[in-house]
Amino acid sequence: MRRLALVLLTLTVMAVAAGCGGSDENAVTGVIIDVRASSFETAESITVRTKDGELWELAVDLDEESARGFPASHLRVHMAEVFPVRVWYRDDGGRHVAYHMEDVAE
């Protein structure tokens, strides 16, 4: 029983790590400078400015599970307070689609 619990814990940690974007190759870090939303809670896209001044426009994955991490109200707080974020994305037909975001401690 103890061994099964350890195996399940290990698999859970691996799944969480994979879901958090893995390598930084498909991630961008910076401050949110624009939030486009269809409602108070539903963000459709964000624009992130990196330290180098690059602008990244990212569509928000509106899949129910992913969208919970991108409530428009929370994103606007990040924008207003200039809190940096790291956003993991995938390329989808020539556009960047954000699927996970984390706060970045400065």
Strand 95-103 and strand 55-60: the pairing is parallel
The b/e string for 9-24 (b: 16+ C-beta within 10 A; e otherwise) is eeeeeeeeeeeebeee
Tens of each residue's pLDDT in the chain, 106 residues: 544 333 333 333 333 444 444 445 799 999 999 999 988 888 999 999 999 999 999 999 877 566 566 789 989 999 999 999 999 999 998 899 999 889 898 6
Q: Give me the phi and psi of 19, to 5 degrees please.
A: -70, -15
Name the token pair of 71.
């409530």
